[in-house]
Amino acid sequence: MKEQIETLVKLQKIETETNHINTILNEVSNKINSLDTRLSSYEISISQAEESLNILKKKYRDLETDIDMNNQTINKGKDRLNGVKTNKEYQALLKGIDELNKKNFNIEEEMLTLMDQIEQTQNDIDKQKDEYENLKQEVHKEKQSIIQGSRQAQKKLSELDNARGKISAMIAPDLLKKFQMIKDQIPGPAIVPIKGIVCEGCNMNIPPQMRNDLKKFESLKFCPFCYRLIYWEEQKTD
């Protein structure tokens, strides 16, 4: 019986390791997703900045057109100045030209402000693009190492599968069946050591008589509290 129990303990180690690797593999897709999210938030931010840059440039061009049109009107007005008959008409024309010049002055002020904003936005885009490129390379490297790691994990997993097959073949079928049943029904390990009189599966104290029986390794025992298979493990003294 002792040998069978030791084999079960080995099987449990394989199961525990398998679970651990599966947890890591499940995390891989989460990790990759969060890296992609970091990249795409940059992409969104850059395209928003580019959009506002286009709006600013369009505004700037519109103002340029306004100035052109005003200048044309001003020039026409100037041409007409020589031909006017009355002083009143002359004054009105001058006033109109003056107003348009003032308008142009204000538009030019506005264009200067826009120019600053365009420059700032462009700088911001350039900076973000630089950061994005760096991040992209970083993410690429990280992904490579994650993928590398998960390949190793897959390899380890298939090694564990092989080992499980071999070990399982060494265990009596009904014992293996019990082990599987506990494994399917109770989370965590199916077979746990008793240390002192404490079950390592549930931390409860088992009856002292049970511990004495366990030490003999004559029969299979179950924890009366968590129903896992239990076995006696020598306390290491150091």
Residues in contact with Zn ion by the rule CB under 5 A:
199, 201-202, 223, 225-226
Minimum CB separation from Zn ion for residue 207, in Å? 12
What is the CA 4 to chain-centroid distance, rounded?
45
Count the neighbouring beta carbons within 10 Å of the beta carbon of residue 25: 14
Nearer to Zn ion, 21 or 210 (CB): 210
Nearer to Zn ion, 16 or 29 (CB): 16
The continuous run of DSSP H or E covering 70 comes out as helix 2-81
Residue in this structure with the two tokens 């030490």, named with its chain if needed: 215
Estimate the crossing angle of helix 2-81 against helix 173-185, to 10 degrees.
40
Measured CA to CA, the distance from residue 232 to residue 217 in angstroms comes to: 8
Minimum CB separation from Zn ion for residue 206, in Å? 7
Minimum CB separation from Zn ion for residue 14, in Å? 21
Nearer to Zn ion, 110 or 233 (CB): 233
Minimum CB separation from Zn ion for residue 18, in Å? 22
Nearer to Zn ion, 60 or 222 (CB): 222
